[in-house]
Amino acid sequence: MDHETVKQRLLEERAHWEREVEAYEEEFSESLEEASDESPYDQHLAETAGVTLDREIDLTLEESARATIVQIDRALQKLEDGTYGRCDKCGRGIGDGRLGVAPYATLCIDCKRLEERGL
């Protein structure tokens, strides 16, 4: 893939994840509205707790969407630096196969696995 194609793909991915984050935000304000529509008495505590739990799940999804945006920005920066396709950690090639699936990958599969294990 040439520079421009990769950049285009990254920007498209970025737009996609930004829409996801916005959708989560919207969903959150809607669920808050629903919660406050109901009378705020004790019998509704359980329902409010449900909303909180939903929010926590959304937060996790939102956080991973935000983390992906950060990673995409990093990949775009690497593209400008001329280090795109090289692992941030060990400097080896990330591999076209991996970049084809995840164009915003900034670590090779080995370093990624180590990172996921917290090493």
Shortest distance, CB of residue 88 to Zn ion, whole angstroms?
7
- Binding positions for Zn ion, 83-102, rule CB under 5 A: 87, 89-90
Among 9, 8, 24, 106, which residue's Cα sits nearest to residue 64? 24
Shortest distance, CB of residue 72 to Zn ion, whole angstroms?
19
**Binding span for Zn ion by CB under 5 A among 3-11, 22-30, 62-70, 108-116:** 108-116
Shortest distance, CB of residue 75 to Zn ion, whole angstroms?
15
d(CA 16, CA 9): 11
- Binding positions for Zn ion, 31-90, rule CB under 5 A: 87, 89-90
112 interacts with Zn ion by CB under 5 A: no
**What are residue 97's phi and psi, to 5 degrees?**
-60, -50
Residue closer to Zn ion by CB (options 65, 108) is 108
Q: Which residues bind Zn ion (CB under 5 A)?
A: 87, 89-90, 108, 111
